Amino acid sequence: MPAPDVSATARLAVFAPLENRGRAETITRRLADAISLGLLADGEQLPSEPELAARLKVATVTVREALGELRGQGLIVTRRGRGGGSFVRAPERSERVERLRRRLHDLTVADLRDLGDHYAALAAGAALLAAERSSPEDLEHLEEAVEAFAGAAGAERRYHADGRFHVEVAAAAQSARLTREEIRMQTEIGPLLWLPGADGRTRRRLDRQHREIVAAIAAEDGDRAARLAREHVTEAVERLVELHLGLVEP
């Protein structure tokens, strides 16, 4: 079934044509990112190989190679026969958390701050453009994303809802390239940002920040939207740095 609370603009970015004769590893990374972020839901059927090739503007054999790599990673399963096809298989939470904790341990504080700077700049730029370009439909999707986070039960659903919120901000900027970069950054640092967890106070603060960002976008106040988005990301990175130091210090 399709992933919930995701705008058509955000999903189109997943299947947008690749640039410069896209290769199998590019397709693999893009689809793996979308699965990790929840833009492609567990159990969802992917388009057929010919349809994917047509959407991405690559050869069918390139798509076949990418799907084979995704199967090898355990991110899709392929069923033969009537009603068959390739279906998304989202990783188990325990498996994913352990892998993320190992990755966080191996990063340095400098690595995290560099990632955080990149992500904060991206989030701020997307919010600024969204304030200038968003349509009433975009604002509706943003409000839905805010409410999805507020009503999400459990860390896994909150992580996906938070990630989708940021993707929707980028989608509201009316830039497929920016949306794809947001998806890539979400999958690179987004899961790490949720490793520290979020107590009730933190969840309420995140909810308030989401609402303030959307309000600034709706008011067409780009400077405020950008500042709030940057602060939102910077705070999350600081929580992650604290967790990292706890993992590496004896």
Q: Of 127, 147, 145, 131, give the one whose Cα is nearest residue 233.
A: 127
Query: What are the start and end residues of each CATH 1.10.10.10 domain in the chain?
Result: 8-88
Residue 4 contacts residue 41 (beta carbons within 8 Å)? yes
Contacts of 81 (CB under 8 A, 6+ apart): none
Query: What are the start and end residues of each CATH 1.20.120.530 domain in the chain?
Result: 93-248
So what's the architecture of 93-248 in CATH? Up-down Bundle (1.20)
Q: How confident is the model at residue 216 (pLDDT cuts 50, 70, 90)?
A: very high
CA atoms within 13 A on the CB side of 85: 13
* Range 222-237 average pLDDT: 96
Reported as a single tens digit per residue, the pLDDT across 136-189 is 999 999 999 999 999 998 887 888 899 899 999 999 999 999 998 998 888 778
Cα three-residue angle 159-7-230, rounded to 5 degrees:
50
Cα–Cα dist 4/119, whole Å? 24
Q: What is the CATH number of domain 8-88?
A: 1.10.10.10
User: What is the DSSP code string of 88-109?
Assistant: E-PPPHHHHHHHHHHHHHHS-H
Reported as a single tens digit per residue, the pLDDT across 80-127 is 888 889 999 987 767 667 777 877 888 899 999 999 999 999 999 999
